[in-house]
């Protein structure tokens, strides 16, 4: 039976039992910050189990795509574990229970899939007599085919809350699939007794006391691996031999070096990981160094490495993605829709890693050579760390390559290096006072400082703590720097990318200028600045006033980042997430994950979209709500895990965007004025940065550009209207003049050569020319010299010129005169010495420089004597 038939049969069977078929949920958990990836059919249905949400129907059936990272190390080594697989499952939310779940599973296995009963086994939780009775009495499974298993295997629970016993169905693949041990039986770690289906009976709640309490609403959650059912039905011993996976395995086998085609483990790894990577990318995961992006990166890189072991070269994972899509595209149409995109992401990451591999391998080979010479067997940890830290070369890869050549790596020293680096980074994050921030703000730890700046920019308050140099003081005076704490404050403390407010804190006769506002590690608002007038005493009543103009500029930027986020997602897809931002007065920076640079057309489209949303002048509102409700309303949560239930702030700009955000915003988008992107750049792998100006910032940018154009126009003796034509004309003219200049130079050289030839002397029958000429570089000097030589045939030449206040010299001697003892390097050395310089070359050609132009005529005049000497020495 084909995999697609198995899938349909399962869904149809449970539809006939009044289940609602729901499509597979995406691999990225939609509303669950606690979960990295969906690893079971029940995971996306969790809110229905906990009662948090009402299910659309009390009975549901799905075929859910899953990625299980914890199984990554087993991939390749067993035939039944994949990181990516499909899980078939039927679910009951407080509806039917154990009896039906068991009866239907058995019915489907025997009468739907028609698996032979003599190969089937079941397991139950050791204390679950109810399940035993159902299997044994209702169904008729003999007692010796029902294995009781311990808590470890057959009791499902995570922490407190709903939990319960499981019952599994096993299929005996036959002796040939097993480990051969005489103890091999259900529960053995080999592939023979294959767990195909797990039925979880959620009937208890684990209380904090440790007690198990019977639940009123009992649930059923089952999971059957599609690939495993296919193994049983297709009579094969590994999932790599099933219909959906085999073509991939064969493809990689054909790519592998013929001598390595029997290497099962690496072949399985590349096969398996190509499926996982393709599905992850299709669902919006992008390679990165953390979270699910790292899972993807790890799978891809692992595949590339194992591919290398098989001798497979080139962008093989990119090609494999297409095969996976061909194979799985009809069941998962989003693969087909995103075909090109998927290939692009795989290809970029694959190429980058290939480069890393090539570079790292080369360096590692250098180390190896040295180790061989010195008789060392272990690569020092600091070198392995350097490879990792500077070149991104993974440690296990270093170890693998070393191992192949009979070497090893000092892993302990590597870890020590890594730890040291992390500590250095941590130390660098401390304050300039050298103290840890926690320690610096210890005195403020228990204070309550309430932020009132969403409603108003002015606030009456009490000065409750004054810190000078990290010490609590009772008063501060004019000129002193300090940090002030107020019981309530309208000042926004730097957070979520938004810069801190500035402004004034005043009493009737004292002024404190706030230059920045930040949070302490324990969450108090700190006003940093200086007393500019009078004296403050802790306990004073004060007036706190935020700099309004600056704050309004910040609000414009902040709302703009939300609109920009929205426009990017609309243009490029929901994989785009904010990775960081700077929200400053009328200026912003927005970092996000995306795999390539944006073209200027794309940037313009995004920019225009933001401006349209601004011009639409929709209201911007903020309201407190629950995380659950905010997500229902479609809000984007940036740092989901930081939000506490019951207290999130949702900022909406009309219907354009909803984001969870604590920042300050304009009242309506029209206040933004103009939004203008000024830069887009890459800031690390898979990360892009957009910089933009808004409001006054955009206006000033426009003025600046305008001014620049005017200045250029004046310089070009033009007006703005004709500027472009004028520049084009000017460039054409410039080119023409350059050409003309070149021609003139050549003509000049010819004239010069003619007059030079008249100066040729004879010394003992050898022709000699030494002269100063007009030339601006060694190159043009040599040109002149070549002309001279070709005009005479047998000659010794020394030419000098003055360029930029310095002397340049060239010399050349023809072969017949070299035979007579004249050498260019000998001549030039002497001449250069006389003009305060040096140089050299060979007998036929030499060049030099000097610093004393005044001495040049005399130095050249002396050449005749030099030549005479050289000739005499020879004879
Ligand atoms: P195993 O003990 O074989 O690792 P499991 O107990 O972890 O399985 P469950 O968590 O109960 O499995 O998942 C339900 C079903 O999903 C299993 O019965 C099996 O058919 C399938 N399954 C689980 N893990 C994998 C995997 N890594 N690859 C393929 N199928 C799997
Ligand atoms: Mg498992």
pLDDT tens string 651-709? 999 999 999 899 999 999 999 999 999 999 888 767 899 999 999 999 999 999 999 99
**Average pLDDT value for residue range 442-448:** 91
Q: Which of 384-393, 700-709, 857-866 has the lowest mean pLDDT?
A: 384-393
DSSP annotation of 286 reads: -
Buried b (16+ CB within 10 A) or exposed e, 428-461: eeeeeeeeebeebbbbbeebebebbbeeebebeb
Residue 180 Cα to ligand 2 middle (Å): 22
Encode pLDDT of 752-778 as tens digits.
Answer: 788 888 889 998 889 999 999 888 888
* Spatial separation of the C-alpha atoms in residues 348 and 352, rounded to whole Å: 6
Lookup: tokens for 838:
């040096």
pLDDT of residue 646: 58
* 65 ligand 1 Cβ < 6 A: no
Pick from 350, 259, 359, 356: nearest CA to 309: 259
Q: What is the pLDDT of residues 490-501, one digit of tens each?
A: 999 998 889 999
What is the chain's mean pLDDT, rounded?
90
Burial of 360 (0-12, 13-18, 19+ CB in 10 A): buried
Per-residue pLDDT, 640: 39
Distance of alpha carbon 146 from alpha carbon 784, whole angstroms: 103
Q: What is the pLDDT of residue 316?
A: 95
Q: How far apart are CA 588 and CA 496, in angstroms?
A: 13
Q: Is the CB of 156 under 6 A from ligand 1?
A: no
194 lines ligand 1 (CB under 6 A): no
CA nearest to 350, candidates 389, 307, 386: 307
Residue range 518-531: mean pLDDT, rounded: 92
- CA triplet 407, 411, 415: central angle to 5 degrees? 155
Cα 320 to middle of ligand 2, angstroms: 26
**How many angstroms separate the CA atoms of 308 and 248, rounded?**
17
Q: Please compute the mean of the pLDDT values over residues 597-612 and round it to a whole number.
A: 95
Query: Residues 494, 473: contact at Cβ < 8 Å?
Result: no
What's the 781 CA to ligand 2 centre distance in angstroms? 80
| Predicted pLDDT of residue 831 | 94
Atom of ligand 1 at shortest range from CA of 68: 27
Which ligand sits nearest to residue 221's alpha carbon?
Answer: 1
Structure confidence at residue 388 as a pLDDT band (50, 70, 90): confident
Atom of ligand 1 nearest to the CA of 168: 18
Please tell me the predicted confidence (pLDDT) of residue 134: 96
Q: Is the CB of 224 under 6 A from ligand 1?
A: yes
Evaluate: CB of 87 within 6 angstroms of ligand 1: yes
In whole angstroms, how far apart are CA 714 and each of 452, 706, 722, 729, 731?
52, 12, 11, 15, 16
Q: How far is the CA of 409 from the centre of ligand 1 (A)?
A: 35
**Model pLDDT, residue 656:** 95
User: How close is the Cα of 131 to the center of ligand 2, in Å?
Assistant: 22
Closest residue by Cα to atom 26, ligand 1, is: 81
Report the residue among 195, 199, 224, 227 best suited for mutation to probe ligand 1: largest number of ligand atoms under 8 A from its CB.
195
Cβ atoms within 10 Å, residue 230:
25
- Ligand 2 centroid to Cα of residue 71, in Å, is 7
Measured between its terminal Cα atoms, the distance across the chain in Å is 103
Residue 574: per-residue pLDDT? 80
For 514, the enclosing helix (H) or strand (E) is strand 511-519
Task: Please report how many Cα atoms fall inside a 13 Å half-sphere around the Cα of residue 274, on the Cβ side.
Answer: 35
| 385 pocket-lining for ligand 1 (C-beta < 6 Å) | no
Q: What pLDDT is recorded for position 141?
A: 95
Going by alpha carbons, the residue nearest to atom 11 of ligand 1 is 198
pLDDT at 425: 64
**Model confidence pLDDT, tens digit, residues 834-854:** 999 988 899 999 999 999 999
Q: What is the atom index within ligand 1 of the atom nearest the CA of 194?
A: 3
Q: Give ∠ CA 449-548-610 in degrees, rounded to 5.
A: 105
Please name the helix (run of DSSP H) or strand (run of DSSP E) that holds residue 171, with its range, or none. strand 161-172
The DSSP call for residue 118 is G
Q: Is the dihedral of CA 387, 390, 394, 395 positive or negative?
A: positive
Q: Is the CB of 272 under 6 A from ligand 1?
A: no
- How far does the centroid of ligand 2 lie from the alpha carbon of residue 544, in Å? 59
Q: What is the pLDDT of residue 400?
A: 78
Average pLDDT over residues 152-169: 88
Summarised one tens digit per residue, pLDDT across range 532-574 is 999 999 999 999 999 999 999 999 999 999 999 999 999 998 8
CA-proximal residue: ligand 1, atom 8 (nearest): 195
Q: Using an 8 Å Cβ cutoff, are 618 and 669 in contact?
A: yes
Question: How much is the pTM?
Answer: 0.58
Is 204's C-beta closer than 6 angstroms to any atom of ligand 1?
no
Residue 50's pLDDT is 79
Query: Quick one: pLDDT at residue 431?
Result: 44
Written in H, E and C, the secondary structure of 553-566 is HHHHHHHHHHHHHH
Across the chain, which distance is largest between two alpha carbons, in Å? 128
Is the CB–ligand 1 distance for residue 71 below 6 Å? yes
The distance from CA 665 to its chain's CA centroid, rounded to whole angstroms, is: 29
Residue among 43, 197, 228, 271 whose CB has most ligand 1 atoms within 8 A, to mutate? 228
- The dihedral sign for the CA sequence 781, 782, 783, 787: positive
Ligand 1 pocket test, pick from 83, 225, 233, 276 with the greatest ligand atom count within 8 Å of Cβ, gives: 225
Residue nearest (by alpha carbon) to ligand 1 atom 3: 195
Cβ-based neighbours of 761, under 8 Å, separated by 6 or more = 767, 768, 769, 864
Q: What's the pLDDT at 352?
A: 85
Q: What is the full DSSP assignment across 61-75?
A: EEEEEEE-GGGGGGB
Please determine, for residue 59, whether its predicted confidence score (pLDDT) is greater than 50: yes
Please tell me the residue having the least CA distance from ligand 1 atom 19: 225
What are the phi and psi torsion angles at 375 (to 5°)?
A: 70, 25
Measuring from atom 18 of ligand 1, which residue has the nearest CA? 197
Q: Whose atoms come closest to the Cα of 41: which ligand? A: 1
In this structure, what token pair is assigned to residue 320? 């494999």
Is the distance from the beta carbon of residue 238 to the nearest atom of ligand 1 less than 6 Å?
Answer: no
Residue 225 Cβ < 6 Å to ligand 1: yes
The string over 638-653, giving b where at least 16 C-beta atoms fall within 10 Å of a residue's C-beta and e elsewhere, is bebeebeeeebbbbbb
* Residue 639 reports pLDDT greater than 60: no
Q: Is the CB of 301 under 6 A from ligand 1?
A: no
Q: Does 158 have pLDDT greater than 80?
A: no
Sorting pLDDT into bands at 50, 70 and 90, what band is 195? Answer: very high
**Once rounded to an integer, what is the mean pLDDT over residues 297-305?**
91
Nearest of 730, 820, 723, 721 to residue 768 by alpha carbon: 820
Q: Where are the beta strands (DSSP E) in 541-595?
A: 541-546, 578-584, 587-593
Q: What average pLDDT does this structure show over 24-34?
A: 85
3-state secondary structure at position 523: coil
Q: What does DSSP assign to residue 288?
A: -
Range with the largest mean pLDDT of 50-54, 645-649, 687-691: 687-691
Residue whose C-alpha is closest to residue 120's, from 82, 174, 183: 174
* Angstrom distances, CA of residue 744 to CA of 63, 739, 803: 81, 9, 18
pLDDT surpasses 50 at 223 = yes
- What is the number of the ligand closest to the CA of 225? 1
Residue 645 has pLDDT above 60, yes or no: no
The pLDDT value recorded for residue 410 is 93
616: CB partners within 8 A, 6+ apart: 654, 656, 669, 670
pLDDT tens-digit readout, 259-277: 999 999 999 999 999 999 9
Question: What's the pLDDT at 641?
Answer: 37
- Tell me which residue has its CA closest to atom 12 in ligand 1: 198
SS3 state at 859:
helix
The CB of 196 under 6 Å from ligand 1? The reply is yes
Q: Which atom of ligand 1 is nearest to the CA of 196?
A: 20
**pLDDT for the residue numbered 433:** 45
Q: Is the CB of 85 under 6 A from ligand 1?
A: yes
Ligand 1 centre and the CA of 36: distance in Å? 18
Check residues 258 and 388 and name the one with the higher pLDDT: 258
Residues 6+ apart with CB under 8 A from 73: none
Ligand 1 pocket check for 81: Cβ under 6 Å: yes
| Cβ neighbours of residue 95 closer than 8 Å, sequence gap 6 or more | 58, 59, 220
Does residue 168 have a pLDDT over 50?
yes
Report strand pairing: 161-172 vs 193-206: antiparallel
Beta bridge partners of 867: none
What is the percent of the chain where pLDDT is above 70? 97
Closest protein CA for atom 27 of ligand 1 = 81
- What does residue 180 show for φ and ψ, rounded to 5 degrees? 85, -5
Atom 14 of ligand 1, residue of closest alpha carbon: 223
Banded model confidence at residue 35, pLDDT cuts 50, 70, 90: confident
Give the contacts of 366 (CB within 8 A, at least 6 positions apart).
none
Strands 120-125 and 378-379: unpaired
For residue 145, the number of C-alpha atoms closer than 13 Å in the C-beta half-sphere is 17
Mean pLDDT score, 326-347: 91
Find the ligand nearest to 239 CA.
Answer: 1
Instruction: Determine the Cα–Cα distance for residues 303 and 616; give it in Å rounded to an integer.
Output: 49
Contacts of 232 (CB under 8 A, 6+ apart): 113, 115, 119, 171, 173, 194, 196
CA dihedral sign of residues 133, 138, 142, 146 = negative
- pLDDT at res. 643: 47
Q: Ligand 1 pocket: which of 41, 87, 166, 269 to mutate (most atoms <8 Å of CB)?
A: 87
Which ligand 1 atom minimizes the distance to the CA of 166?
11
Flag the least confident range among 380-394, 599-613, 803-817.
380-394
Q: Is the CB of 400 under 6 A from ligand 1?
A: no
Instruction: Supply the DSSP symbol for 112.
Output: I
Reported as type and span, the H/E element at residue 13 is helix 3-16
| Residue 195 beta carbon below 6 angstroms from any ligand 1 atom | yes
Does the CB atom of residue 198 touch ligand 1 within 6 A?
yes
The model's confidence at residue 427, banded by pLDDT at 50, 70 and 90, is low
Residue 43 tokens, joined: 């995971």
Quote the ligand 1 centre to 31 CA distance (angstroms).
24
Q: Give the number of the ligand closest to the Cα of residue 80.
A: 1
Which of the listed ranges 18-27, 750-759, 779-788 does the model predict with the highest average pLDDT?
18-27
Distance 122 CA to ligand 1 centre (A): 15
């Amino acid at each position: 039976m084909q995999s697609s038939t198995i899938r349909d049969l399962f869904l149809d069977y449970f539809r006939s039992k009044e289940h609602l078929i729901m499509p597979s949920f995406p691999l990225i958990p939609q509303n669950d910050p606690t979960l990295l990836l969906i690893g079971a059919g029940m995971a996306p249905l969790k809110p229905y189990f906990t009662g948090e949400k009402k299910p659309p129907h009390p009975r549901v059936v799905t075929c859910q795509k899953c990625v299980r990272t914890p199984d990554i190390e087993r991939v390749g080594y067993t035939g039944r574990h994949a990181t990516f697989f499909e899980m078939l499952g039927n679910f009951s939310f407080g509806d039917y229970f154990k009896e039906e779940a068991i009866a239907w599973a058995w019915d489907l296995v025997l009468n739907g899939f028609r698996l032979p009963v003599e190969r089937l086994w079941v397991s139950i939780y050791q204390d679950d007599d109810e399940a035993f009775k159902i299997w044994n009495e209702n169904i008729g499974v003999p007692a010796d085919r029902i294995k009781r298993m311990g808590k470890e295997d057959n009791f499902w629970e995570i922490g407190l809350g709903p939990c319960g016993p499981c019952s599994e169905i096993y299929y005996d693949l036959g002796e040939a699939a097993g480990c051969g041990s005489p103890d091999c039986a259900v529960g053995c770690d080999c592939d023979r007794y294959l767990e195909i289906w797990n039925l979880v009976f959620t009937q208890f709640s684990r209380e904090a006391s440790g007690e198990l309490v019977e639940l009123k609403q009992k649930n059923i959650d089952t999971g059957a691996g599609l690939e495993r059912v296919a193994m049983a039905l297709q009579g094969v011993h590994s999932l790599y031999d099933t219909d959906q996976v085999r073509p991939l395995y064969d493809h990689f086998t054909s790519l592998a070096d013929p001598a390595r085609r029997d290497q099962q483990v690496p072949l399985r790894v590349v096969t398996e990981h190509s499926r996982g990577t393709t599905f992850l990318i299709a669902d919006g995961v992008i390679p990165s160094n953390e979270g699910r992006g790292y899972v993807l990166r790890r799978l891809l890189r692992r595949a590339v490495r194992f591919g290398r072991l098989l001798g497979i070269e080139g962008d093989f994972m990119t090609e494999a993605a297409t095969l996976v899509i061909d194979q799985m595209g009809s069941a998962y149409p989003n693969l087909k829709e995103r075909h090109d995109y998927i290939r692009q992401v795989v290809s970029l990451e694959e190429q980058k890693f290939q480069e890393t591999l090539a570079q790292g391998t080369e360096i590692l080979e250098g180390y190896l050579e040295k180790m061989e010479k010195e008789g060392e067997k272990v690569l020092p940890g600091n070198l392995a760390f350097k490879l990792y830290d500077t070149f991104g070369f993974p440690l296990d890869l270093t170890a693998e390559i070393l191992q192949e050549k009979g070497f090893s790596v000092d892993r302990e020293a590597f870890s020590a290096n890594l730890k040291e680096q992390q500590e250095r980074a941590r130390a660098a994050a401390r304050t300039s006072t050298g103290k840890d921030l926690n320690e610096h703000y210890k005195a403020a730890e228990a204070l309550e400082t309430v932020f009132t700046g969403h409603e108003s920019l002015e606030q009456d308050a009490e000065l409750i703590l004054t810190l000078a140099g990290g010490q609590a003081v009772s008063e501060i005076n004019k000129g002193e720097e300090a940090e002030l704490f107020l019981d309530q404050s309208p000042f926004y403390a730097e957070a979520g990318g938004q810069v801190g407010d500035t402004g004034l804190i005043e009493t009737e006769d004292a002024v404190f200028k706030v230059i920045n506002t930040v949070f302490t590690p324990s969450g108090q608002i700190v006003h940093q600045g200086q007393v500019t007038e009078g004296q403050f005493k802790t306990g004073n009543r004060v007036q706190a006033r935020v700099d309004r103009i600056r704050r309004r500029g910040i609000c414009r930027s902040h709302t703009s980042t939300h609109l920009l986020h929205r426009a990017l997602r609309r243009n490029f897809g929901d994989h785009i997430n904010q990775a960081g931002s700077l929200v400053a007065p009328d200026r912003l920076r927005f970092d996000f994950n995306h795999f390539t640079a944006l073209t200027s057309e794309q940037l313009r489209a995004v920019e225009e979209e933001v401006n349209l949303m601004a011009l639409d002048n929709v209201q911007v509102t903020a309201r407190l709500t629950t995380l659950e409700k905010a997500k229902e309303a479609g809000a984007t949560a940036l740092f989901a895990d930081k939000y506490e239930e019951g207290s999130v702030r949702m900022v909406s700009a009309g219907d354009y965007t909803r984001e969870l955000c604590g920042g300050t915003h304009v009242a309506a988008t029209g206040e933004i004025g103009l939004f203008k992107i000024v830069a887009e750049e890459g800031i690390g792998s898979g990360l892009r940065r957009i910089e933009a100006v808004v409001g006054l910032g955009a206006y000033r940018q426009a003025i600046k550009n305008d001014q620049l154009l005017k200045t250029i126009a004046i310089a070009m003796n033009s007006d703005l209207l004709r500027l472009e034509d004028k520049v084009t004309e000017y460039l054409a003219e410039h080119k023409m003049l350059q050409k003309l200049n070149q021609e003139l130079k050549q003509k000049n050289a010819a004239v010069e050569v003619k007059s030079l030839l008249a100066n040729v002397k004879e010394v003992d029958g050898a022709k000699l020319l030494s002269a100063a000429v007009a030339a601006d570089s060694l190159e043009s000097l040599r040109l002149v010299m070549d002309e001279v030589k070709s005009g005479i045939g047998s000659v010794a030449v020394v030419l000098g010129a003055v360029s930029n206040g310095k002397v340049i010299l060239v010399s050349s001697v023809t072969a017949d005169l070299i035979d007579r003892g004249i050498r260019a390097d000998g001549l030039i050395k002497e001449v250069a010495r006389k003009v305060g310089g040096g140089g050299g070359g060979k007998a036929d050609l030499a060049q030099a420089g000097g610093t004393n132009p005044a001495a040049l005529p005399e130095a050249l005049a002396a050449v005749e004597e030099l030549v005479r000497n050289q000739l005499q020495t020879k004879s």
